[in-house]
Amino acid sequence: MVLTAGDTYAVTLFLIVCLSVFGRKLYLRIRYLFLAKGRERRWDHIPTRVKNFIVYGIFQRKVDREWYAGVLHSFIFWAFVILGASVVEITAQAYAAGWQVPTPTIAGFSLNGPLYFAEEVVAFLGAIGVGMALYRRYVIRPKKLMHEGMLDATIVLLFILGIVTSLLFYNATDVALGTAALPAWKPISSTLVRLAIVPADPTWWHVLWWTHVVLLFTFLAYVPHSKHMHIIFAIVNTFFMDLTPKGALKKVDLEKTTTFGVNRVEQLSWRQLLDGYACTECGRCTDACPANATGKPLNPMRIITNMRDTLDEQGAAILGGKTDGQPDMFQTVHSKDGIWACTTCYACVYECPVMNEHVPKIIEMRRHLVLNQGEMPAETMEAMRKIEQNFNPWGIGWDQRGKWAEGLGVPLMSTASASSEPVEILYWVGCAASFDDRNRKVAQAFSRILQKAGVRFAILGPEEKCTGDPPRRLGNEYLAQTMIRGNVETLNRYRVTRIVATCPHCFNTLKNEYPDFGGQYDVVHHSQFLRELIDAGRLAPTKDVLQFLTYHDACYLGRYNGIFDEPRDVLYRIPGVRVVEMEKCRDRGFCCGAGGGRMWMEERIGEKVNHRRLSHIEETNANAVATACPYCLIMLDDAAKTKNREDIRRYDIAELLERSL
């Protein structure tokens, strides 16, 4: 079949209009991205970025964390990828009748046939994917998708359904008329002909060709004006994902920076702004948020989408330099109460299928409030004052930091460094284990374990300071860097090479953030070190510890640093211990509520996060819970006492291991 000259002129005009509408909106949005004042280099480690692009962009590894959504998105995504060839071929036929996409020929065998077969299959699967998506939205109706009106999503899904079905019916008329190229490779279209669904009529061929082209390019023009702009930007976002350690906040140059944090969208970096256009509004981030789940005014998805909408609304004014009087991010993006409700548990970032980065934006907004406006919750101001005065948020005298070790024969680094026998490890005790009564018992148990294993270790005692984690997550970069630089100076003076920390927050900061300040150390968590000692035969748990328990994953140990198996392996090696998993465990674990400085804030809104976590423990019917984090231990201890469930015992893994030695 051949299109007329009138068809060619009409389709040319139509394509120019659609591509112009698409291009203008795309140009504006890209131009808005370059309004960003924040600098960020995301062009390094190209091989790794290409790998991430393939794994997370092309094969959508994160999308598959939900099987139903993963299947339907895969069907629709691959339909778009493979049907790109048919788009080119069908459109080109307006200018060159019978034109085919050039493909390689292998041993005299053209690959056009397999390409047509793939197009047919993915078009059929794409239609199934659309049906699954509509069923999900209108019948299953998951809460995380009910945040928006159905109109935009329905329009897009119907466009996609129209595009894939019109292709199949167009191919079918081509087969029926005997003009199709390689009809044997078009089984679905051929089936439509055999079932007499499509007649051998040139008019039908003509109408279906136009239907397919009009739907396709109208959809292209519509996409930039809808939330489905992510079709273009999401895959790009995966290439530019953050390659620094998950637990590392970026260093702020205090001497060169005049305005800290952000309160306007243009102060963000281009990559942070790109998140807005990449967002699929799937709601997974908000669904995973412990603050949102317990009734706090924090909605991670809205931080991203409101940032995007604010950029679109203010972009023209920003380009024209007319920013005076424009509302700031605390009015248009998210409320201050929501920003302070974040526990920085990283669940939002971890669950995002397009690699959006929520937590860094929250920290930047906190930095603005604290360093520019001098505004933070009253309780945290008290904790910061105590860190300034005594180097710990408990406010106990810094000279009492090593008091927990009295009578245990634990050497100080100041004396051990002068010994002829080198220190094997430095035990970084942390503020909680130094000053909190419950966690002092953990430090004592861990020290006795090290002694039984013959490990030559020492502590800093009064020379140890807060690692800077609480003030840094609260936005007080000045105080955080004061603590960090002081600790680095001390550690480097003693030429420390290996550090073991019982606190995941200390572990994360020492391991992932201290290198930016000249602190290069081999940092391991005590769960890793205990397993190492057991594997090496230096520890042999033999006594039965009859305990039926569940294990709570600390966010800064698990999601941030990928340590899920080591603490469990220690528990599995203890005779008599039976471990049952909570539904929300490992990388889907639920926060205890203490991270991000929330340890030092009151929960006045909604249910307490640690109370919700206790309910997850209760569901397992376990009579104890083990963890490997002092903050988690404090929060679970508090929840058990408050909810009158002290029959559920709370342990650190080191305490259970010691009982078995």
CATH class entry, domain 265-372? mainly alpha
Paired residues of 627 in beta bridges: 652
Average pLDDT (400-411) is 95
- At residue 421, the pLDDT reads 81
Closest CA to 497 of 486, 484, 510: 510
- At residue 518, the pLDDT reads 96
Average pLDDT (82-97) is 89
- Could you tell me the CA-to-CA distances from 279 to 131, 177, 635, 647 in Å, in that order? 22, 44, 33, 44
Average pLDDT (99-120) is 86
Structural contact between residues 560 and 346, judged by C-beta atoms closer than 8 angstroms: yes
Residue with tokens 């804030």: 601
- At residue 447, the pLDDT reads 98
Give the chain's end-to-end CA distance (angstroms, integer): 84
Closest CA to 607 of 590, 617, 593: 593
Average pLDDT (250-272) is 91
- The yes-or-no verdict on residue 55 having pLDDT over 70 is yes
Q: Do domains 397-535 and 547-659 have the same CATH topology?
A: yes
* Per-domain boundaries in the chain: 5-102+109-237, 265-372, 397-535, 547-659
Paired residues of 351 in beta bridges: none
pLDDT digits (tens, 9 = 90+) for 527-581: 999 999 999 999 999 999 999 999 999 999 999 999 999 999 999 999 999 999 9
- Could you tell me the CA-to-CA distances from 265 to 143, 311, 339 in Å, in that order? 29, 6, 15
**Which structure tokens are listed for 105?**
């020929």
Which segments of 10-54 are extended strands (E)?
A: none
Closest CA to 416 of 458, 447, 446, 448: 458
Structural contact between residues 79 and 125, judged by C-beta atoms closer than 8 angstroms: yes
| DSSP tag of 55 | I
The Cα–Cα gap between 321 and 177 comes to 61
Percent of the chain exceeding pLDDT 70 equals 99
The Cα–Cα gap between 404 and 464 comes to 14
Q: Which of 29-43, 303-317, 587-601 shows the lowest mean pLDDT across its residues?
A: 29-43
Structural contact between residues 358 and 272, judged by C-beta atoms closer than 8 angstroms: no
Band of the pLDDT at 196, cuts 50, 70, 90?
Answer: confident
Give the contacts of 443 (CB within 8 A, at least 6 positions apart): 404, 405, 429, 433, 434, 502
- At residue 107, the pLDDT reads 75
Backbone dihedral region of 597: left (phi > 0), alpha (psi from -120 to 50 degrees) or beta?
A: left
Length of the chain in terms of residues written: 661
Band of the pLDDT at 259, cuts 50, 70, 90?
Answer: confident
- At residue 344, the pLDDT reads 97
Q: Is 371 exposed, middle or buried (0-12, 13-18, 19+ CB in 10 A)?
A: buried
Q: Which of the four CATH numbers 3.40.50.300, 3.40.50.10700, 3.30.160.40, 3.40.640.10 does domain 547-659 have?
A: 3.40.50.10700
- Could you tell me the CA-to-CA distances from 171 to 97, 131, 199, 216, 305 in Å, in that order? 15, 21, 12, 15, 40
pLDDT digits (tens, 9 = 90+) for 364-376: 999 999 999 999 9
- At residue 596, the pLDDT reads 96
- At residue 10, the pLDDT reads 96
- At residue 109, the pLDDT reads 79
Backbone dihedral region of 298: left (phi > 0), alpha (psi from -120 to 50 degrees) or beta?
A: beta
- At residue 1, the pLDDT reads 67
Band of the pLDDT at 148, cuts 50, 70, 90?
Answer: low
Average pLDDT (597-604) is 94
Give the contacts of 347 (CB within 8 A, at least 6 positions apart): 285, 288, 289, 290, 555, 559, 588, 591
Backbone dihedral region of 448: left (phi > 0), alpha (psi from -120 to 50 degrees) or beta?
A: alpha
| DSSP-based three-state secondary structure for 379 | helix
Structural contact between residues 315 and 276, judged by C-beta atoms closer than 8 angstroms: no
Backbone dihedral region of 237: left (phi > 0), alpha (psi from -120 to 50 degrees) or beta?
A: alpha
- Could you tell me the CA-to-CA distances from 17 to 24, 118, 209, 214, 528 in Å, in that order? 11, 31, 18, 12, 61
Number of C-beta neighbours around residue 537 at 10 A: 8
Band of the pLDDT at 404, cuts 50, 70, 90?
Answer: very high
- The yes-or-no verdict on residue 40 having pLDDT over 90 is no
Structural contact between residues 546 and 552, judged by C-beta atoms closer than 8 angstroms: no
In this structure, CATH architecture of domain 5-102+109-237: Up-down Bundle (1.20)
- At residue 469, the pLDDT reads 97
The Cα–Cα gap between 147 and 162 comes to 26
Q: Which of the four CATH numbers 3.40.50.300, 3.40.1390.10, 3.40.50.1860, 2.60.120.10 does domain 397-535 have?
A: 3.40.50.1860
Average pLDDT (30-55) is 91
Name the pTM for this structure. Answer: 0.93
- At residue 325, the pLDDT reads 83
Band of the pLDDT at 467, cuts 50, 70, 90?
Answer: very high
Mean pLDDT (the chain, rounded):
94
Q: In what order do the strands lie in the sheet with 457-458?
A: 457-458, 425-428, 498-501, 522-525
Helix-then-strand count for the chain, H and E: 28, 10
